[in-house]
Amino acid sequence: MIEKIPHQPTSAFTLQYPETLSLLQIAAKITAESNNRQVLAELRKGHKFCFHGTWGTAMAFYSWLKKQIQNRYPATDYTSSRIQRERLNSLTENLFLPIKNHKPDLAKAPGNPWLKEFYPGEKEFLLRFTDYLGMNGARQWYEKGIQFPGLNHKVHPFYGTYFPTRTEHLELFDKWLSGEKDNKNAIDMGTGCGVLTFYMLKHGIRNIVATDINPNSLYSLEQDLERTGMQTLVKLMQTSFFDGLENTQPDLIVFNPPWIPMETHTNIDKAMYYYSGFFEDFFKQAYERMPESCRLVIFFSTFARAAGISHEHPVEEELQSCNRFSLKEKFQINIQQKTSPRKDWLSQIRLHEEAELWVLTKKS
């Protein structure tokens, strides 16, 4: 769960960080002497616990808990893997880490500079253990950066920012842009970490509006634009779909939507899963707002079909059922990403999954 925090790094956006609790709100502790099964029974009742002692104790219990859930709810396909994750999340949301003077108050715990940046006025508080693990993972990506194929610089996603872990659709876009020389004005809708914006900048588009509903994403892109000296070429807007874009006249609109139909709860979820009616809303607004000469590039994946989640394909359905857009071009590529040996079910999905790039124009 995330909430807005009054303090912000230097940015016009109100950033979102994990929520905190007071030390007084949780009395029960997990120590090296705790009985794991007794703690698990209490967690199932909704009781909250705080780790005490060492980081090793916390990690040992967390690893033990994950194994219990994996054994009880084995993941054999996408649906069962979601159930496993939800069951684990329902328990770990009640595990907390004590923070003191912007450091975890456990012996040998790894530090994170974001604790001081995110919570400058709070000296002692509790943070969800899994939120801190996520913060540490995000910090590593942020510091190390991600090298996407075809770009001559890394992208450094800020905390809470979606970034693609697969690159097939990016390679399709890079190749497609290499044959497009007339685009001057573009919209990157739902920019995430901004990687599509950087591909457009690479190919000479010098007037881009990058939008997202997630303020952390826009702040992330803002920082990377400043690192690369291209901040004057991109306007950042926190908005949904075409709201506030009435006065723009783009030659190109790029949209990398979520690919899996499912309810969402966090901004990161909204980058991966779409709600019922999502694409209906988007295509309706796109038809009403797009200039006649503008092209709409949409990325999609057949993951949901390959996984047996849903047979729907929103882009195909729009073209077949509505008389609003024409298909100009379509490109597709097989997914090449290797999966963990422990996820044979995911390997089978990847064998049948394709990444797609659709180029649409508006009918008169």
pLDDT greater than 90 at residue 346: no
Percentage of the chain exceeding pLDDT 90: 75
Q: Quick one: 63 and 149 in the same domain?
A: no
pTM for this one?
A: 0.91
Domain boundary residue, one of 84, 117, 142? 142
| Domain coverage including residue 83 | 2-142
- Report d(CA 94, CA 27) in Å as an integer: 12
Quick one: pLDDT at residue 343? 66
User: Does residue 75 sit in the same domain as residue 190?
Assistant: no
pLDDT recorded at residue 108: 97
**What pLDDT, in 10s, does the model give residues 201-230?**
999 999 999 999 999 999 999 999 999 999
**What tens digit of pLDDT does each residue of 127-175 get?**
999 999 999 999 999 999 999 999 999 999 999 999 998 899 999 999 9
Per-residue pLDDT at 3 exceeds 60: no
Residue 87 has pLDDT above 50, yes or no: yes
State how far Cα 186 lies from the chain centre.
22
pLDDT given at position 179: 92
* Residue 245 and residue 325 in one domain: yes
- Do residue 156 and residue 297 come from a single domain? yes
Dist CA 76 CA 70 (whole Å): 11
pLDDT digits (tens, 9 = 90+) for 286-345: 999 999 999 999 999 888 888 788 888 999 999 999 999 999 999 999 887 665 566 677
Helix (H) or strand (E) holding 204: none
Domain boundary among 142, 165, 192: 142
Q: What is the CATH number of the domain that holds 202?
A: 3.40.50.150
Residue 40, pLDDT > 80, answer: yes
Q: How far is CA 66 from the centre of its chain?
A: 23
pLDDT, the chain, mean = 91
Q: How many domains does the chain have?
A: 2
Nearest residue to 290 via CA among 334, 339, 324 = 324
Between the two ends of the chain, the Cα-to-Cα distance in Å is 45
Which of 90, 124, 142 lies at the terminal end of a domain, its last residue? 142
Q: 200 and 337, same structural domain?
A: yes
> In terms of domains, do 136 and 123 share one?
yes
Rounded distance between C-alpha atoms, residue 218 and residue 20, angstroms: 24
Same structural domain, 138 and 200 = no
Instruction: Give the pLDDT score at 170.
Output: 96
Does an H or E element contain 317, and which? helix 314-321
Q: Is 183 found in the same domain as 136? A: no
Given a contact cutoff of 8 angstroms between Cβ atoms, the answer to whether 256 and 192 are in contact is yes
Write down the pLDDT at residue 294: 96
Whether residues 103 and 202 share a domain: the answer is no
In the chain, % helix, strand, coil (3-state, to 5) comes to: 40, 20, 40
Q: Are residues 129 and 156 in the same domain?
A: no
pLDDT of residue 19: 94
